[in-house]
Amino acid sequence: MLRAVPTNASTDASTGATDVAPGDTRAARTAVAARADARDRAAGVGAPTRLRTALGAATGVVLLAATAAVASGGVTAALPAGPDADVAVPAAAVPAGDYTAVCPAPPRPVAPSGDGDDPEFGPASRTAKTTVSGLVLSDLGATVTGSALLPVGGEEPLDLIREFAPESSLGSRGPAGSSEDGLTTRVAGVTRGTAVDAPSVLRAQAQGGLTPVAAASATYTATDGDLRGLAATACQVPSSDFWLLGAATTAGQSSVLTLTNPTGTPAAVSLELHGPDGPIEAAGTRGELVAPGETRRIVLGAFAGDQEHVAVRVRSAGGRVTGVIQQSVLRGLTPGGVDLLSPSAPAGLTQVVPGVVVQDTATARRIREQDGYATASPELQVLVPGASDAVLDLRVFGPDGEVELPDGGVVTAPAGAVTGVPLDALPAGNYTIAVTSDVSVVAAARVTRGTDDGKPVDLAGAPAAVRLGSGHAMALAEGVDAALVLGAPGGRGEITLTPVSADGVLGKPVVIGIAGGTSVTVPASSLGRSPVAVLVDATGDPVYGAQVMTLPGTTSGISVVAVPVGVTAPQDLPVDLGY
């Protein structure tokens, strides 16, 4: 039975510190926040992201208990004496939180709006449909924790995550996927092809002190109308700070930022906008309120009109939010593509973009040489959010190794601006692009698919991805041809891909070695019979991955989704008391 758990119920919005019971000291709360902030900065991640992940009422109890132990002498009695003695800081275990991932609302055309506020929406087309698929991995005893797909802000499930049950797969040693001794097994609860017309959320309870391995994806398809094409995205875990790249607001291009707050705490959202010429200052981008369970839609053209490139940083105080950009193109009466742009990896000195698809040179040239089709070509986009220019070293990796870019792949990118680097000189293929910079940057790529002669062209955004480790899960899009593009920019890496079938059975793992400086493509169909999801584990040198989807039987329709972040282990929070 699904248990409702309030999200972010005890997190202070301005400091990221945890609310504690009455009687605790202000100094304790401030010290906890400061030390966690310092540790997060050393790890290269935002402090609010870590603190707001799983801190709830239970955390307050743990911190209060740790404080009481110190105050009562239960800890100090064992401390070494003397002014120069090193005193270890007590640590309180942070309980694992539930898994929460928000799937965005379906793309819809934007009607003209006078002031740029929430747009009016109409039906996308007669054939448009959006479905959500997801999975939750069981524990070693084949028990799937309570989980369901719910409407955001609602309590009536759209679909319950079905536990493994079919007797046909039971053998003398238990369900398929059992260990040799038959004592442990892992299966998956699966939801497949649930039709949605509004934002939804996959929730799964913590189990055995751990956040479960889970994932969901939303897939939109349409074969007619202005939003003809394919748009897919991995459903997002809420965050308080993230970047979105790939938007454009020039003539015929529409960008709609969709923000959703699945928590029980109001979120005050601020936007930071950047264009080709630097930061974009606009009124109304600070302190936008997104109430619990609410979705806000913001037309970016109202703040950054006639911009070839737009990057958006979303930061929230209070409740954590998710965000995607609905990007669409209309060239006269000809649809030019639609996609749901997902957040890129956090800013850093290195960015890796897997799943960069390049069409054959002749077709790509015929497309972009048509009147009004200059943007229908692949491009890398790099944002320098700081105040110093960046010197970028770009390296492109294909199945046979590194592919040279014109001018040697060295580019100077101005501070505060989005720089576009054309990729149409590359041969046809699937690539992984590594960006190395002397200052922190954010990156993503635009890819296209289509033919010439004025026929529809589809577009997709490929975000920079995080390094793969253990505990990754990816729900495969339904009704599309899907493949995993895996790249190892440095040394050799090894990937284990475990397919999951529609009835929750884990198939035979497939182990793939990836030579350093190469990128490989693994069709989902090669992993087993009609897998609905894939579990991903990586060892060795850094490997990055994305799911590339195309519409079967068409010459357009493409979308790229990075492999979501894996589950992290439980953490201890240092409790530093001072006066």
The residue among 305, 279, 21, 319 whose CA lies nearest residue 153 is: 319
The residue among 383, 409, 381, 411 whose CA lies nearest residue 396 is: 409
Q: Between β-strands 267-275 and 147-151, what pairing exists: parallel, antiparallel or unpaired? A: unpaired
What share of the chain in percent tops pLDDT 90?
A: 60
Q: Between residues 387 and 162, which one has the greater pLDDT?
A: 387
Q: Between residues 221 and 579, which one has the greater pLDDT?
A: 221
DSSP code per residue over 228-275: -EEEEEEPBPPBSEEEEEEE--STTEEEEEEEE--SSS-EEEEEEEEE
In this prediction, residue 209 carries a pLDDT of 82
Q: pLDDT per residue over 547-567, tens digit each?
A: 999 998 777 899 999 999 986
In this prediction, residue 505 carries a pLDDT of 93
Phi and psi dihedrals of 237, rounded to 5? -75, 130
Question: What angle is formed at CA 375 by the lines to CA 369 and CA 380, rounded to 5 degrees?
Answer: 120
Q: Name the maximum alpha-carbon separation found in the chain.
A: 83
Model-wide pTM > 0.85: no
Q: Between residues 351 and 97, which one has the greater pLDDT?
A: 351
pLDDT at 47 over 50: no
Cα 553 to Cα 184, 226, 337, distances in angstroms: 42, 20, 17
- Lowest mean per-residue pLDDT among 138-147, 187-196, 371-380, 449-458: 449-458
User: In which element (H, E) is residue 160 found?
Assistant: strand 159-160
* Sheet containing 200-204: order of strands: 99-103, 200-204, 147-151, 159-160
Q: What is the amino acid identity at position 13?
A: A
The residues near 59 (Cβ < 8 Å, ≥ 6 apart) are 10, 18, 92, 94, 95, 573
The residues near 81 (Cβ < 8 Å, ≥ 6 apart) are none
- Lowest mean per-residue pLDDT among 57-66, 110-119, 327-336, 524-533: 57-66
What is the mean pLDDT of the segment spanning 400-418?
94
How many whole angstroms separate alpha carbon 234 and alpha carbon 249?
24
How many whole angstroms separate alpha carbon 258 and alpha carbon 340?
10
Structure tokens belonging to residue 30: 């401030």
In this prediction, residue 548 carries a pLDDT of 97
Residue 23's pLDDT band (boundaries 50, 70, 90)? Answer: very low
pLDDT at 79 over 90: no
- Lowest mean per-residue pLDDT among 68-82, 150-164, 241-255: 68-82
In this prediction, residue 82 carries a pLDDT of 56
pLDDT at 12 over 80: no
In this prediction, residue 469 carries a pLDDT of 95
What is the mean pLDDT of the segment spanning 247-254?
94
What is the mean pLDDT of the segment spanning 319-327?
97
How many whole angstroms separate alpha carbon 107 and alpha carbon 567?
29
In this prediction, residue 406 carries a pLDDT of 83
The residues near 263 (Cβ < 8 Å, ≥ 6 apart) are 6, 7, 8, 238, 292, 319, 320
Q: Between β-strands 401-403 and 410-413, what pairing exists: parallel, antiparallel or unpaired? A: unpaired
pLDDT at 290 over 70: yes
Q: Between residues 322 and 73, which one has the greater pLDDT?
A: 322
Residue length of the chain: 579
Give the SS3 label for residue 40. helix
pLDDT at 318 over 80: yes
How many whole angstroms separate alpha carbon 576 and alpha carbon 88?
9
Q: pLDDT per residue over 329-372, tens digit each?
A: 998 888 899 999 999 999 999 999 999 999 988 888 888 888 88
Residue 477's pLDDT band (boundaries 50, 70, 90)? Answer: confident
The residue among 538, 496, 506, 531 whose CA lies nearest residue 137 is: 506
How many whole angstroms separate alpha carbon 560 and alpha carbon 508?
26
Q: pLDDT per residue over 439-464, tens digit each?
A: 999 999 999 998 776 678 899 999 99
**pLDDT, mean over the chain:** 81
In this prediction, residue 311 carries a pLDDT of 98
pLDDT at 401 over 90: yes
- Taking a C-beta distance cutoff of 8 angstroms, is the pair 393, 435 a contact? yes
In this prediction, residue 317 carries a pLDDT of 96
Q: pLDDT per residue over 148-194, tens digit each?
A: 999 998 889 999 887 654 443 433 333 444 444 444 589 999 999 99
pLDDT at 85 over 50: yes
In this prediction, residue 370 carries a pLDDT of 86
In this prediction, residue 575 carries a pLDDT of 60
What is the mean pLDDT of the segment spanning 11-35?
38
Q: How far apart are the first and last CA of the chain?
A: 46
What share of the chain in percent tops pLDDT 70?
A: 75
Residue 213's pLDDT band (boundaries 50, 70, 90)? Answer: very high
How many whole angstroms separate alpha carbon 138 and alpha carbon 140?
7
What is the mean pLDDT of the segment spanning 473-496?
94
How many whole angstroms separate alpha carbon 200 and alpha carbon 157?
10
In this prediction, residue 554 carries a pLDDT of 78
DSSP code per residue over 345-383: PPPEEEEEEEEEEE--HHHHHHHHTSTT-TTSS-EEEEE
In this prediction, residue 185 carries a pLDDT of 81
In this prediction, residue 364 carries a pLDDT of 87
Backbone region of residue 466 per phi and psi (left: phi > 0; alpha: psi in -120 to 50; beta: other values): beta
